[in-house]
A and B are shown apart, each in its own frame.
Chain A
């Protein structure tokens, strides 16, 4: 994090500032929460009688904060960012593993073609490093196993990957419903397509795992049109999406992905309001929109809605939203609340045995476990995507169950973790609901047209609206840039009339 600082005090001041925005999860030594919330008592800008802001941004995830940063850099000062949680970063979250190191329990990787987020990281001086995959991955099923070097791939069948890549060329990433083959492809699930490919029994768990990790649902409920649009984001190359090496799981951020948001928040001062959920939006179709928050009301000309459709669905709109937008929000799939765990060991002991710390498990709680140790491997961290209801909810029971599976793969040293974090994004709070959008068959051809057009003075933003890499951190940054431009242009047009 603050590696470039020289003196101890400088490090501490810097760290204190950053922790303020990181929230409780990263708070150590009594810092964090209280500092971050101190401003709740001060008056909100935009809340004074007669005062009307130019722009309000709802959501301090990567998208909303990117918009805020662009506005600030463009010289716009009349804006505010409203965030429901007591921290920034939304679907990115750093878990403190000790020794000043973190492990991501939310979005974490970037890959080829994800240039918007890569550029942002460079500007913010956040370094990147490659994911660790050298060595053997362990496949577990029942009491059997196999250790195998997958060479940075997920072992997916090459010919089928090529076929998917080919199909994806016809499906524009940001607007799949405009594909010339939309009608035909949107009738099918990925499962319908796989069922015709004569897949060997031993390959089926691999496809289940891949589609669940990338798309957010098992094949039978995953829309083919949407899945192809995701491959299209990866420059129509399935292996740029579904692999580690040279792919979307290949690169990590030093200090964790949440650091991007923390650094952007630092520049915002009191323009950022934490613990300030927006409950209701009225008069969105008039010149002055009113936002009703837990810290009072705010009046503004433009609103950037930097949050996913299911989160918009929790807000009360008055008057009601246009029918097509309301229908899109209501139907938007929200059944992919990833449960991600981090098991911390004093060192990455598996590496010495030629193992890469990766596990795929058939019919178990683990979808994919992987080495998520910090950059120099000072501590050993195993993260895992686990199947929400196939691992006990109790913290200690879950920790024990996972440690035992790790021991099956790597030996008894795995039974002695030093810490464990368990994050079910659907259960910790109501401010994510779903991590990715597992768009089902039929959705895009019915609702696609309602995704982007603004409703009155509401500009729909967030990663789900991005042209490329929708659903990813890169898409969040892209949507943030785009919405800042749209908001400024809307103000310009208004000042003319």
Chain B
């Protein structure tokens, strides 16, 4: 991009010693940051440009979304991720953004995404501010619903069951509504019958509880 950036690192250090201006410090830091992120990229993904780059605008850097409406993929079980991509592609699950995108994926590519995002560390949903009353009601509902039996310890996900802890609030609520209305189906029908049994207010409370649940 910017030819001025081509000044090599050692040269910058030398110049730094001579002038020590703020601009040079800033440039030095920029160079250092570029080098560091290049190394991280190579280690985590491999050669640039990588297929997973195309997912990060909507699913966040390395699969951790800061947006309550776009789901995080980081730390989701590999099997779950692969199933969802196949479901989008074959129409079992519908979403206007994901359906055509998933249709471009070969089985090999699906495996690549699933492996990559499963490997990324899950992060806390730190921008979510939970309403305390709702959270408590959600916790009670989740406990009586036996979520952990399938969704795993601390609701961190396992096998075909997604991680729910620290997922985006708006996304979770949408999914619960979609299960309740039969727009999304899980193979056993369990999620559909659970969700249909909750009132709209219950679903909000559960989404509040899950979105605020830490990953550790």
Contact = CB atoms under 8 A, between A and B. Distances in A.
A333 B101 contact: yes
A441 B101 CA distance: 11
Interface stretch (A111-119, A123-131, A214-222, A275-283): A214-222
B1 A155 contact: yes
B4 A146 contact: yes
Contacts of A200: 6
Given A141-B33, A141-B34, A195-B49, A202 B26 contact: no
A388 to B, nearest CB: 5
Contact of B2 (A146, A208, A441): A146
B128 to A, nearest CB: 9
Contact of A218 (B35, B53, B104): B53
B44 interface: no
A143 B26 CA distance: 7
Contacts of B127: 392-394, 397
Nearest to A333: B100
Interface string A422-435: 00001100100110
B152 interface: no
Contacts of A442: 104
B34 A202 contact: yes
A140 B5 CA distance: 12
Interface in B17-68: 23, 26-38, 47-51, 53-54, 56-61, 65-68
Nearest to B25: A144
A194 B57 contact: no
Contacts of B168: 393
B30 A391 contact: no
B104 A143 contact: no
A362 B30 CA distance: 9
B97 interface: yes
Interface string A194-223: 110001111111111100100001111100
Contacts of B2: 139, 146, 148, 150, 155, 202-203, 206
Given A144-B31, A387-B56, A205 B1 contact: yes
A144 B3 CA distance: 17
B76 to A, nearest CB: 15
A144 B101 contact: no
Given A207-B1, A331-B100, A388-B70, A219 B30 contact: no
B26 A389 contact: no
A335 B98 contact: yes
Nearest to B40: A363
A346 interface: no
Interface in A95-113: none
B30 A144 contact: yes
A155 B101 contact: no
A355 to B, nearest CB: 13
A337 B30 contact: no
A146 B66 contact: no
A145 interface: yes
B97 A201 contact: no
A331 B103 contact: yes
A387 B70 CA distance: 11
A388 B58 contact: yes
Interface string A131-143: 0000000011111
A390 interface: yes
Interface of B: 1-6, 23, 26-38, 47-51, 53-54, 56-61, 65-70, 96-101, 103-104, 127, 168, 170
